[in-house]
Copies of this chain bind each other. A is one copy, B any other.
């Protein structure tokens, strides 16, 4: 399927969490093009639910979006970590919760071109509560609500962070089908 011919491929920018690569290529029609893509380290998004089908979400001030955002707990996967161990670590650090049942409900690509950002979405069940351990620049508030209410907030546009929307809508669907 790969019909383009690569002429050159190089890294043109790098930071801690992403890099930019530039690819020069020729199309079957002979035209030459240059594309820049930014590739970000993958993240995990965690959806802890109680036995009563309530979900834990957080609110946090997001400088990038210039607003307080309601979203699922999430974090980057560190080097030498699996997605599952990152999910367990983040849930422990940010919410002080450990869970005995884990399930990857989706692996998503945020965009299909230009930006590569992958997130692994995890359902966490059978929760146990301990102490939190925030990063020094995080100020988060933890909220608990029925999954159906979270899904309504997604539908009303009160939650607009893509991985959070997807996890909530998928869990709401599973719950309705009695598969949760």
State the majority secondary structure of interface residues on A. mixed
* Contact (Cβ within 8 A) B162 A162: yes
* Contact (Cβ within 8 A) A151 B173: yes
Number of chain A residues whose Cβ lies closer than 8 Å to a Cβ of chain B: 63
The 8 A-B residue pairs whose C-beta atoms are closest, nearest first, are A15-B36, A169-B169, A110-B110, A162-B162, A1-B61, A13-B13, A38-B38, A110-B162
A interface list, Cβ under 8 A from B: 1-4, 12-13, 15-18, 20, 23, 27, 29, 31, 33, 35-38, 40, 43, 60-66, 68-69, 71, 74, 106-117, 136-137, 139, 151, 154-155, 157, 160-163, 165-166, 169-170, 172-174
